[in-house]
């Protein structure tokens, strides 16, 4: 082990060929662990300057409860979905006697790393996070896990780590939306999504593709675009609409992108939904503030936040084992409004 790396329960467990739970029990003098093994583990921990996660332990065991703080990382505050998730986290946390410390990564990997370090230094008892778009290395999360800090992912999950997560049913949400578009007579359906490095984008694209294939249609690569905001949608949509065989429908990864498509289509003389149908994915306030109002897939962010906080608090307080990976899926539903036939 490198001298600069702090000793963790995972390291001790690896050294003795036992589980992290066994190490934890030994350090607490559990009678369920033999006296000889307990002493060996405790001696090794002392010699290697092992420092436990004091806050998490005190939350589980102390009669005098310290301030209970959950760290939450939001990619962007401006997104309705993320703010609704935060509302759910705060509601559940408050009901259980916890406070919330919130930070925005602003979709930057470097900032995300800094926040994780800051949260650890501020002794949060656990972290709820949706990773930044450009995050493709996960050492900062693994370091927290190794130090005994529980992590729960929401929305954008990290498949490279064995952590609990809460997601919406992105695949079925997309599949249902595109099936509806096809049933309403659309055939040339465009897909605007985020980077395929993100699981949510893969799942939504797969739902889009599978709905097309079920009806004997094939995705047209000309109509599959990397686009997840209104400005980019307004910039690229005119080129697609100028094609002789232009799309007759658009399925967008979020409502802002869908609204960009909507206003771009209207500016170029297309009638929505008579000429072009459009479906988003969020069901935020903006979906009912546009004209016509937006058909969209509702994500139920508040419920996602409540579920994520429920898991994390359960792990902190011991009702959910820290080594158990919880996977919870929140169902979506299609909200049909004026941008589809």
pLDDT for 50 equals: 77
Tell me, yes or no, whether 62 and 137 share the same domain. Answer: yes
pLDDT for 1 equals: 42
Closest to 156 (Cα-Cα) out of 115, 177, 118, 128: 128
Tell me, yes or no, whether 220 and 240 share the same domain. Answer: yes
pLDDT for 198 equals: 86
pTM, two decimals, is 0.79
* Average pLDDT of the chain, as a whole number: 91
What is the pLDDT averaged over residues 97-113? 96
Higher pLDDT among residues 118 and 61, named by residue? 118
Looking at the domain assignment, is residue 337 inside a domain? no
Residue 262 has pLDDT above 70, yes or no: yes
* Distance between CA atoms of residues 228 and 208, nearest Å: 16
- The number of domains in the chain is 3
pLDDT digits (tens, 9 = 90+) for 281-311: 999 999 999 999 999 999 999 999 999 999 9
Tell me, yes or no, whether 218 and 294 share the same domain. Answer: yes
pLDDT for 94 equals: 93
Q: Indicate the DSSP class of residue 77.
A: T
Residue 273 has pLDDT above 80, yes or no: yes
pLDDT for 109 equals: 95
Closest to 158 (Cα-Cα) out of 207, 116, 96: 116
Name 60's Cβ contacts closer than 8 Å, sequence gap at least 6. Answer: 316, 317, 318
What is the pLDDT averaged over residues 11-25? 86
Residue 3 has pLDDT above 60, yes or no: no
Tell me, yes or no, whether 275 and 218 share the same domain. Answer: yes
What is the pLDDT averaged over residues 95-117? 96
Tell me, yes or no, whether 145 and 216 share the same domain. Answer: no
The domain spanning residue 292 has which CATH number?
3.40.50.2300
Tell me, yes or no, whether 38 and 68 share the same domain. Answer: no
Residue 16 has pLDDT above 50, yes or no: yes
Looking at the domain assignment, is residue 335 inside a domain? no
Residue 98 has pLDDT above 70, yes or no: yes
Q: Provide the token pair at 163.
A: 């952590």
Tell me, yes or no, whether 114 and 215 share the same domain. Answer: no
Residue 222 has pLDDT above 80, yes or no: yes
Tell me, yes or no, whether 238 and 286 share the same domain. Answer: yes
Q: Indicate the DSSP class of residue 254.
A: S
pLDDT digits (tens, 9 = 90+) for 309-332: 999 999 999 999 888 999 999 999
Tell me, yes or no, whether 163 and 311 share the same domain. Answer: yes
Determine what percent of the chain is predicted with pLDDT higher than 70: 93
- Calculate ∠ Cα 222-159-206, nearest 5°: 30
pLDDT digits (tens, 9 = 90+) for 56-66: 555 555 554 55
pLDDT for 309 equals: 97
pLDDT digits (tens, 9 = 90+) for 37-78: 999 998 998 888 776 655 555 555 555 455 699 999 999 998
Tell me, yes or no, whether 67 and 43 share the same domain. Answer: no
* Distance between CA atoms of residues 276 and 339, nearest Å: 8
pLDDT digits (tens, 9 = 90+) for 140-195: 999 999 999 999 999 998 878 989 999 999 999 999 999 999 999 999 999 999 98
pLDDT for 2 equals: 43
Query: Cα 85 to chain center, whole Å?
Result: 10
What is the pLDDT averaged over residues 73-88? 94
**By three-state DSSP, how is residue 228 classified?**
coil
Domain with 91 in it: 58-168+302-330
Tell me, yes or no, whether 179 and 267 share the same domain. Answer: yes
Q: Indicate the DSSP class of residue 132.
A: -
Determine what percent of the chain is predicted with pLDDT higher than 90: 74
């Amino acid at each position: 082990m490198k001298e600069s790396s702090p000793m963790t329960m995972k390291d001790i467990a690896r050294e003795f060929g036992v589980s992290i739970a066994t190490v934890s029990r030994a350090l607490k003098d559990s009678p369920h662990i033999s006296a000889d093994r307990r002493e060996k583990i405790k001696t090794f921990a002392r010699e290697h300057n092992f420092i436990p996660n004091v806050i998490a332990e005190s939350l589980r065991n102390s009669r005098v409860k310290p301030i209970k703080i959950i760290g939450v990382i939001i990619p962007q505050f401006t997104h309705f979905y993320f703010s609704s998730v935060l509302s759910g986290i705060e509601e559940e946390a408050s009901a259980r006697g916890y406070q919330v410390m919130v930070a925005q990564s602003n979709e930057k990997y470097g900032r995300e790393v800094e926040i994780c370090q800051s949260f650890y230094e501020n002794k949060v008892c656990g972290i709820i996070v949706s990773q930044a778009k450009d995050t493709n290395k996960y050492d900062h999360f693994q370091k927290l896990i190794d130090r005994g800090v529980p992590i729960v992912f929401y929305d954008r999950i990290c498949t490279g780590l064995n952590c609990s997560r809460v997601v919406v049913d992105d695949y079925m949400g997309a599949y249902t939306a595109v099936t509806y578009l096809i049933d309403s007579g659309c055939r040339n359906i465009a897909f605007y999504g985020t980077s395929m490095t993100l699981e949510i984008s893969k799942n939504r694209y797969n739902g889009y593709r599978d709905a097309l294939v079920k009806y004997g249609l094939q995705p047209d690569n000309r109509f599959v675009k990397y686009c997840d905001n209104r400005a980019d949608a307004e910039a690229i949509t005119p080129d697609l609409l100028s094609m002789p065989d232009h799309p007759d429908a658009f399925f967008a990864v979020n409502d802002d992108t869908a609204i960009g498509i909507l206003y771009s289509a209207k500016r170029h003389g297309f009638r929505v939904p008579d000429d072009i149908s459009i479906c988003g994915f969020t069901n935020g306030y903006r979906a009912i503030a546009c004209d016509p109002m937006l058909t969209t897939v509702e994500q139920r962010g508040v419920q996602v936040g409540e579920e994520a906080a429920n898991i994390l608090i359960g792990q902190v307080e011991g009702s959910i084992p820290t080594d158990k990976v919880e996977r919870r899926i929140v169902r979506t539903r299609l909200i049909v409004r004026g941008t589809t036939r």
